[in-house]
Amino acid sequence: MMSRDQAIAAIDDYYQNGDFEAELAGRISYKTESNLPNCETALEAYLEDDLVPYLSNMGFICNTYPNPRSDAGPFLVAKRIEGNNLPTVMTYGHGDVIAGYDDQWDNAMSPWDITKVGQRWYGRGTADNKGQHTINLAALRAVLDIRGSLGFNVTLLIEMGEERGSPGLRDFCEAHKDLFSADVFIASDGPRIHPDKPTIFMGSRSVFNFTMRLDSHAGGHHSGNWGGLLTNPGVVMAHALASMIDRNGKILVEGWRNTRIPDSVRAAIAKLDVGEGENTPDINPNWGEPDLTIAERVFASNTFEVRAFETGNPKSPANAIPPSAVVFGHLRYVVGTDISKLMPLLRNHLDKHGFDEIIITSERDMMPATRLDPDHPWAKWAIQSLSKTADDEIAVVPNLGGSLPNDVFADLLGLPTIWVPHSYAGCSQHAPNEHILESISKSALRLMTGLWWDLGEGNTPRQIS
Ligand SMILES: [Zn+2]
């Protein structure tokens, strides 16, 4: 018991004595802007000059691998193996960042240094994701220092292309599945549900983007000569949409709704507050699935949106019947939705309602939604450890409302996935003025130290089962 406290005291010290700032500042200084040309040198240097020496000092065996996509950044796989009878955790981070937008930061701050203003530490990658994996690795080292060993094995994967949509990640993990066999996946990215509320999430909804198009005529036709004689594709498209969703946002396409919520997921979601905080829009309590709570609607059901809808030329409307209409729609979907059926179900629906002339196309590869049951032994274990360190109940989000390529870890590698986010919704990630909050960093360092400590205590789900 004392030792867990000692490890946490050591991580408090790491923060107080400036080491956290110094280590993070070193990582922030690499311009790892994976979306920009000529970033290769920085992407490689981040691994070779910073993480590899750092991890080697902690007894990790480090290997970097080229990306299976020749135009994308490398992967680092670092392993510290203490014994075959010990649990193995896979952890993950990304060392690439969004472009710095160097001249757009307030007060001429540089994105490549840390600038401290009150609670905020500004810098590109502080929140997404250098700050988050720096916290997790420092916590690991604190446990190693105090205990002398971890008490578990670690496989760390760092990718350098997450901000480009993780090119090659799936292929790389598929080709090297043997490297990633583990008992549990624990990593950090994204925001807490509230800055003061330690949070875990365990999966995400996913998104199905599609286009509906109706071409009725070769060109526009004067409505004085042809109105009443020609089909107006905008009107037909509006009726097609009205057949797909009612005026209060309830989905009407047969097979597209998904309102089966396991009791454990329902119980976890019941404790979450949605839509609170500054600069948040007003929620319409009558929108969406009528029989679900507000939180269940965003976390536990499928939702359909019209993203864009065009007919004619809205910038310069003519007195004419437009030739075509196009809708860009999407469905956010939860676990349990058969994604291979979404397009056929839409086709059936449109045909059945007399809209067989509308052409539908799916915009991109779909990935499955993921969600770990909050009653899963590893979820319960993590919740207990984090609550103990926080001395408070934590927020348990079965899956994010947004999307994340968690299926690579959850489905392809078959791991129970637990994410412990160390940022908050107002962090300006992907924009100028990205920052982290001191209060969250301090708390996150302690939470992760407690979590890694407990993982080596010998009473994890793996040993019990
Ligand atoms: Zn990002």
State in Å: Cα 453 to ligand 1 middle. Answer: 28
Which residue blocks in 162-292 are alpha helix, DSSP H? 169-175, 223-226, 233-244, 263-269
> What is the pTM assigned to this prediction?
0.90
pLDDT at 425 over 90: no
User: What percent of the chain is predicted at pLDDT more than 70?
Assistant: 98
State in Å: Cα 244 to ligand 1 middle. Answer: 33
Q: How far is the first Cα of the chain from the last one, in angstroms, to the nearest whole number?
A: 24
Answer yes or no: is 131 within a domain: yes
Q: Looking at the structure, tell me whether residues 325 and 433 fall in a common domain.
A: no
State in Å: Cα 127 to ligand 1 middle. Answer: 9
Answer yes or no: is 194 within a domain: yes
135, 98, 134: which is closest to 428 by C-alpha?
98
Q: Looking at the structure, tell me whether residues 115 and 22 fall in a common domain.
A: yes
Which residue blocks in 178-232 are alpha helix, DSSP H? 223-226
Q: Looking at the structure, tell me whether residues 71 and 197 fall in a common domain.
A: yes
Choose the final residue of a domain: 362, 384, 412: 362
d(CA 359, CA 346): 11
State in Å: Cα 291 to ligand 1 middle. Answer: 34
Answer yes or no: is 292 within a domain: no
State in Å: Cα 70 to ligand 1 middle. Answer: 22
d(CA 381, CA 394): 13
Instruction: State the chain's mean pLDDT as an integer.
Output: 95
For the beta carbon of residue 86, count every other beta carbon within 10 angstroms: 20
Place of tokens 């999430």: 201
State in Å: Cα 188 to ligand 1 middle. Answer: 12
Answer yes or no: is 284 within a domain: no
State in Å: Cα 273 to ligand 1 middle. Answer: 24
State in Å: Cα 132 to ligand 1 middle. Answer: 12
Instruction: State the residue range of the domain holding 356.
Output: 206-258+302-362
Answer yes or no: is 38 within a domain: yes
State in Å: Cα 422 to ligand 1 middle. Answer: 13
Residue 254 confidence (pLDDT): 96
Instruction: Tell me how many domains the chain contains.
Output: 2
Residue 367 confidence (pLDDT): 85
Q: Are strands 88-94 and 184-187 parallel, antiparallel or unpaired?
A: parallel
State in Å: Cα 123 to ligand 1 middle. Answer: 13
Residue 278 confidence (pLDDT): 65
pLDDT at 209 over 60: yes
Q: Looking at the structure, tell me whether residues 219 and 328 fall in a common domain.
A: yes
Q: Which residues of 112-136 are buried (b: 16+ CB within 10 A; e: fewer)?
A: bebbeeeebbbbbbbbbbbbbbbbb
Averaged pLDDT for residues 22-39? 96
Q: Are strands 324-333 and 206-215 parallel, antiparallel or unpaired?
A: antiparallel
Residue 464 confidence (pLDDT): 58
State in Å: Cα 95 to ligand 1 middle. Answer: 10
State in Å: Cα 338 to ligand 1 middle. Answer: 28
448, 267, 270, 258: which is closest to 341 by C-alpha?
258
φ, ψ of residue 245 to 5 degrees: the values are: -155, 140
Residue 2 confidence (pLDDT): 67
State in Å: Cα 96 to ligand 1 middle. Answer: 9
Residue 235 confidence (pLDDT): 98
Is residue 196 within 8 A of residue 287, CB to CB? The reply is no
d(CA 92, CA 46): 15
Report the range of poorest mean pLDDT among 81-95, 216-230, 353-367: 353-367
Residue 273 confidence (pLDDT): 85
Q: Looking at the structure, tell me whether residues 223 and 97 fall in a common domain.
A: no
- Mapping DSSP to helix (H, G, I), strand (E, B) and coil, where does residue 31 land? coil
- Mapping DSSP to helix (H, G, I), strand (E, B) and coil, where does residue 205 land? coil
Q: Looking at the structure, tell me whether residues 158 and 212 fall in a common domain.
A: no
pLDDT at 465 over 60: no
Residue 259 confidence (pLDDT): 84
State in Å: Cα 140 to ligand 1 middle. Answer: 23
The string of pLDDT tens digits covering residues 336-361 is: 999 999 999 999 999 999 999 999 99
Element (H, E) at 304: strand 303-311
State in Å: Cα 130 to ligand 1 middle. Answer: 10
> Structure tokens of 8?
């946490």
d(CA 126, CA 124): 6
State in Å: Cα 161 to ligand 1 middle. Answer: 10
Choose the final residue of a domain: 362, 379, 411: 362
- CATH number at 315 reads 3.30.70.360
pLDDT at 429 over 80: yes
Q: Looking at the structure, tell me whether residues 195 and 306 fall in a common domain.
A: no
Q: Looking at the structure, tell me whether residues 114 and 156 fall in a common domain.
A: yes
Q: Looking at the structure, tell me whether residues 25 and 149 fall in a common domain.
A: yes
Answer yes or no: is 460 within a domain: yes
Q: Looking at the structure, tell me whether residues 306 and 344 fall in a common domain.
A: yes
Answer yes or no: is 353 within a domain: yes
State in Å: Cα 125 to ligand 1 middle. Answer: 8
Q: Looking at the structure, tell me whether residues 232 and 319 fall in a common domain.
A: yes
State in Å: Cα 162 to ligand 1 middle. Answer: 7
State in Å: Cα 343 to ligand 1 middle. Answer: 29
Q: Looking at the structure, tell me whether residues 344 and 403 fall in a common domain.
A: no
State in Å: Cα 128 to ligand 1 middle. Answer: 5
Cα-atom radius of gyration of the chain, to the nearest Å?
25
Interhelix angle 438-455/377-390, rounded to 10 degrees, is: 130
91, 44, 98: which is closest to 66 by C-alpha?
44
State in Å: Cα 36 to ligand 1 middle. Answer: 14
- CATH number at 43 reads 3.40.630.10
Answer yes or no: is 278 within a domain: no
306, 275, 271: which is closest to 396 by C-alpha?
271
Choose the final residue of a domain: 362, 391, 411: 362
